[in-house]
Amino acid sequence: MGRKVKVLARLVPGCRKLPIPLLLEEASDYIAALEMQIRAMNTLAKVLSSVGSSGAGSSTSLPTTTATSSSPQPEA
């Protein structure tokens, strides 16, 4: 089991020197966070593909922002 624990500790960021119970808890949290990222990316991909297919050939697109300064500008 020692070799597998070491491999797991290398896979989970910041967990190389944690005791096994804490490593397992952190690994569980890390897996949940990765699953959430996958769901978010899948949702974003669906939105972008539907916008891309519905807007083919038109001049409409997603709104873009330009960063001209670091502070928010009031609306005119």
| Residue 59: half-sphere exposure toward Cβ, Cα within 13 Å | 0
66 within some domain: no
Q: Which of the two residues, 53 and 8, has the higher pLDDT score?
A: 8
How high does pLDDT run on average in the chain? 82
Residue-wise pLDDT for 39-52, tens only, equals 999 999 999 999 87
Residues 6+ apart with CB under 8 A from 15: 8, 9, 22, 23, 26, 27
Average pLDDT over residues 59-72: 51
65 within some domain: no
Residue 3 — pLDDT band, cuts 50, 70, 90? very high
58 within some domain: no
> Domain total for the chain?
1
17 within some domain: yes
Residue-wise pLDDT for 5-17, tens only, equals 999 999 999 999 9
Structural domain of 18: 2-49
